A and B are shown apart, each in its own frame.
Chain A
Amino acid sequence: DARVTQTPRHKVTEMGQEVTMRCQPILGHNTVFWYRQTMMQGLELLAYFRNRAPLDDSGMPKDRFSAEMPDATLATLKIQPSEPRDSAVYFCASGLSRSNYGYTFGSGTRLTVV
């Protein structure tokens, strides 16, 4: 089965450090989402891309978060500087826009900022 690959699976870092999370979408998918999930907030949309172009990053704290797709096989989410409140699971999902087949999620990056 084709899958969305996210790295790292787990990350523990100290407050103030830079964190980079990576996502390899399924080959051929033209839409990529970044979501954050916490117990309190559920799934929050941070950013999404279509054909590598950023369409909406209004859910992302602009002062510290950035999302990019340097090529069709890689999406990145960076936090600099990281804060304890950024601790969450970060999911990447990919799919074809306007598809009835839904979107496929990666296994997530579990981030802990201490």
Chain B
Amino acid sequence: RKEVEQDPGPFNVPEGATVAFNCTYSNSASQSFFWYRQDCRKEPKLLMSVYSSGNEDGRFTAQLNRASQYISLLIRDSKLSDSATYLCVVTGTDSWGKLQFGAGTQVVVTP
């Protein structure tokens, strides 16, 4: 079983709609959680950290469920520019914050 698992998609979303997807992680002692965004042939870029109480950044909302070991990302009022692959990242339990990446969820926003 992979340490971090994501639905690869693609999630085809009409412009203006809401899309949400999850990521599950296997290590219950994981410390920190992030969502990264990666555009085709570009480097991953930090979208947002995920805090225990959940957090929002504009149209993006992230949630953490430690009991069920998953994090989620919700995008409201989708824009064409939101089309990308969204990577779930979990830090391991080692002292140094080793990053574990999911394989990514592809989102395609259509006009």
| Size bracket, chain A contacts | 20 to 34
The answer to whether B101 and A43 touch across the interface, beta carbons within 8 angstroms, is yes
- Evaluate whether A31 and B96 lie within 8 angstroms (CB atoms) in the complex, with A42-B104, A102-B36 already known: yes
**Which chain B positions have C-beta within 8 A of A106?**
43
At the interface with chain A, which of B12-20, B44-52, B59-67, B72-80? B44-52
Given contacts A50-B96, A100-B32, contact A105 B101 (CB under 8 A): no
In the complex, residue of chain A having the shortest beta-carbon distance to the beta carbon of B46: A102
Contact assessment for B43 and A102 in the assembled complex, using a CB-CB cutoff below 8 Å: no
Identify whether the interface residues of B are mostly helix, strand, loop, or mixed: loop
Interface residues of B (CB under 8 A from A): 31-32, 34, 36, 41-46, 49, 51, 87, 89, 91, 94-99, 101, 103-104
The 9 closest A-B pairs by CB, nearest first: A105-B43, A102-B46, A97-B97, A43-B101, A42-B103, A50-B96, A102-B34, A100-B49, A97-B96
